Structure 1
Amino acid sequence: MDSLVVPISYWSYWANVVYILGMFGYLTIDTINYIFKSFNESFSCFIYVFLAILFVIDAALYTIDWYMYAIKFRQNKNEPIEYEAELVACLFQNLGSYFYLISALLAFNKSRFVKEILLYNLIGINAFLMESGFIFLGWRISFRRKPSTNPKRGCVPQDVYMWAFIMYTVASLIYLCATTLAYRIYTTLNIVNPNGVLILQMLGDLVYLFDAYLYYECWKRDKQDYDMNTERQRLIALNLVKQLATENLNYDIKTDDNE
């Protein structure tokens, strides 16, 4: 049995679903804003606020998921709580999500708060980068603490988790470049949302969307592992019951023969 198999949580399933929907929404609205320069700005702001709220919910779902596998489902309640790095990652994810929500709300008065919006976006994306680092750190610590018997797990090309972490980091770096570029262009040239920034954002959206799909594949793999592990334990328990029943039957037969 793989020691890294943990009880599957549907909180992570819904977190992945929200992640996919949110990134599809960001890619769509960013593309529309790039193609149609005269797109209704107020409606666009409402969409961005809605998407930011989605990611606040998403961060909360991932935090609940951490609680489920790190605290509620841990095998020995007396042992210290593990997965501390993942908890820090959740905190950074929540922090980044709220900063993006604040910047989305300020966008309703963009002409007044452009600099603040870009600054909050910069803080938010740095928080997501910190999150990605702690997620990878926690993943590595887990494998060092409980090495997997599966050769396709760990820092190997066959592990979907590794690619999910890489894609998340790459997407965050792209967004960091876009946000930094937007901030520099605005402070030096007083230009808001130049085409280069929008293109970088759309590229980041694509990578994030692909990353969301990878995380969904990770969830499906974890669910398959958990189902197989549960079935294996059920069969072991069933065989044990059959063995005990057979032994009891043989004992009864011997007792009857002796009488």
Structure 2
Amino acid sequence: MDLSVVPISYWSYWANVIYILGMFGYLTIDTINYIFKSFNESLSCFIYVFLAILFVIDATLYIIDWYIYAVKLRQNKDEAIQYEAELVACLLQNLGSYFYLISALLAFNKSQFTKIILLFNLIGINAFLIESGFIFLGWRISFRRKPSTNPKRGCVPQDVYMWAFIIYTLASLIYLCATTLAYRLYMNLNIVNSNGVLILQMLGDLVYLFDAYLYYECWQRDKEDHDRDTERQRLIALNLVKQSTIENFNPDKKTDDNK
């Protein structure tokens, strides 16, 4: 029996679900703030803190997922831990998420901490952008280490993972532009929450939301592959048992063997 099939991870499933919910929340609140300029600022701050906490949880789930498949599910416990690039990506994701959480908490006193908030947002989005590079690097290394027999996996248009990585990088670049513009406008012109920044943020939210859907689709396809491989293993094992049973209880074959 082929023992190379890795159990499907539900840690990444829930991380993807939180990713979708969180980005839908960001798109909603950013759109409300753009349309309704007089929207309750305190309520808006509470929502941003809640969403930032969601993404801290999301980052934690991803690093747990990394630990499960990179450490606990190693076939040989004595071999060195691999997937180092993915670990760096997870750490950067956690770093960025915590910087955004701190920024959201400081926003309750925005007038006093505006510069620090924008600076922390810059650090956070740069962490996410660098993370995207390590994600893609780890993905390429894993295929070099163990090439896939599936023609739809790898650097091909049919691979959803490739598009998820590209879209994530694109969304991070859009957010970087929005955050950089917000920082420049505040430092040079003392302008906060300009329409241009809000529009870029909403565009970034929309692209991130699409990326979240792609990651969920990746998980679904991985589960289908896992279920298919598991069923194939079960049928192979069942066939081996049947063959063994037939050989053990076939008197004609035993007689021939004795001859």
TM-score range, shorter chain: over 0.9
Q: Is residue 11–residue 64 contact of structure 2 (8 Å, CA) maintained in 1?
A: yes
User: Would the aligned equivalents of 1:2 and 1:149 in 2 still touch at CA under 8 Å?
Assistant: no
For the 8 Å contact 2:247–2:253, the answer to whether it is kept is no
1:7 deviates by 1.9
DSSP-derived class of the 2:149 partner? coil
What does residue range 153-172 of structure 1 map to in structure 2 within 5 Å? 153-172=153-172
Letter in 2 for 1:76: N
Q: In the superposition, relative to structure 1, how do residues 256 and 139 fare at CA in structure 2: closer, same or farther (>3 Å)?
A: closer
- Relative distance call for 1:166 and 1:243 in structure 2 (3 A) is same
The aligned amino acid for 1:12 is S
Q: Deviations over 1:194-252 (max 9, x none)?
A: 00000000000000000000000000000011111111111111111111111111258
Q: Which residue of 2 aligns with 1:84?
A: 84
Let me know the Cα RMSD of the aligned residues: 2.0
- Counterpart residue type for residue 154 of structure 2: G
CA contact (8 A) 1:3 1:148 kept: no
Checking the alignment, whether the CA contact within 8 Å between 1:15 and 1:58 is kept in structure 2 is yes
Residues paired across the two proteins, number: 258
**Cα 1:85–1:250, aligned 2, differ >3 Å: closer, same or farther?**
same
Matched to 1:14, the amino acid is: W
Corresponding residue of 1:223: 223
Contact 1:4 / 1:148 at 8 angstroms: preserved in 2?
A: no
Cα distance in 1 for residues equivalent to 2:133 and 2:257 = 70
Identity percentage of aligned residues: 86
Q: What's the offset of the Cα at 1:5?
A: 5.3
Task: Tell me if structure 1 keeps the 8 A contact 2:5–2:230.
Answer: no
What's the TM-score, normalizing by structure 1?
0.96
User: What is aligned with 2:46?
Assistant: 46
| Correspondence for 1:74 | 74
How far apart in 2 are the matches of 1:72 and 1:220? 22
The code of the aligned residue for 1:184 comes to R
| Inter-partner Cα distance in structure 1 for 2:159 and 2:256 | 58
**Aligned runs of 1:164-243 on 2, under 5 Å?**
164-243=164-243
State the Cα distance separating 1:3 from its structure 2 match.
Answer: 10
SS of the residue corresponding to residue 156 of structure 2 reads coil
Deviation string 1:94-128 (CA, Å, 9 cap, x unpaired) is 00000000000000000000000000000000000
- Structure 1 counterpart of 2:141, one-letter code: I
Stretches of structure 1 lacking an aligned partner (at least 5 in a row): none
* Corresponding residue for residue 247 of structure 2: 247
2:164 and 2:211 in contact (8 A); partners too: yes
Structure 1 position 255, deviation (Å) = 5.6
Q: Helix, strand or coil: the match of 1:151?
A: coil
C-alpha separation between the residues in 1 aligned to 2:69 and 2:28? 34
Deviations 1:101-158 (A, max 9, x none): 0000000000000000000000000000111100000000000010111111111110
Shift of 1:26: 0.1
